Amino acid sequence: MPGRFEGKRGLVLGVANKRSIAWAVARRLADEGAALAFTFQGERIEGNVRELAESVSSPLVTSCDVREEADCTRAVAEAASALGGLDFVVHSVAFAAAEDLEGRFTDTPRDRFWMALDVSAYSLVAIARAAEPHLAETGGSIVTMTYLGGERVVPHYNVMGVAKATLEASMRYLAWDLGAEGIRVNAISAGPVRTLAARSISGFPTMEAIVGERAPLRRHIDAGDVAAASAYLLSDDARNVSGTILYVDSGYHAMGM
């Protein structure tokens, strides 16, 4: 439905390259008329993000270390200023050390456990807090990205599963807190998507194969499917949807075996 986001303005966190889920979401929103600002973390991906942002005529690309409160506040303020306000935020940020995505969860060291939760879950809280006054003015919305490993054991997903469980609970509490100001907060639980980040999960090929075999629709999803669902949740079509996890996994979450 072209035009759903005409006049809408949003901040997108988590684009790393053209295969990122965050980029698929951003491109879908831009195609439907949204004006977008982007963040990046680290010089290694800055060039990629700037090139992609330029392709959708973004007025702002700014750095943001989500573990730093001041950085979150600054990045959101810069986005609101550059865009003339904020109607939505796309949060697609997650990180765990590669060595913690193989072997046993039990062996996760304390420092890397808290790092995974800080980056992957608390970042949503920090960004939502910074965005609240801007989104309250527009009755805006936030969408974040999760995975079934936050609800059930997925071998090798390990500490990231714990982080996603924390993210999902945080999403629901944020939906309650911010709902008083008309702000909606939701999550997409996507099936396995072939991103560069997914390659760091040692069991990813098995995860993908099992979903293709056992999901009711017997097919894989791609980043475009996540983008379409995100656009729905961020649009006025979902004006009474909040505190919800929308599964985009060919129905795999419904299966017991």
Active site residues: 147, 157
Q: Which helix (H) or strand (E) holds 185?
A: strand 184-190
Which ranges constitute the DSSP H helices of 94-222?
Answer: 110-117, 123-138, 158-179, 204-214
Edge-first strand order for the sheet with 60-63 is 60-63, 35-40, 9-13, 88-91, 141-146, 184-190, 245-248
Backbone angles phi, psi at 191, to 5 degrees: -70, 180
At residue 207, what are phi and psi to the nearest 5 degrees?
-55, -45
Encoding tokens for residue 237?
């079509």
**Side-chain-facing half-sphere of 7: CA atoms under 13 Å:** 3
C-alpha to C-alpha distance for 8 and 235, rounded to whole angstroms: 9
Which helix (H) or strand (E) segment holds residue 57: the answer is: none
Amino acid present at 111: D
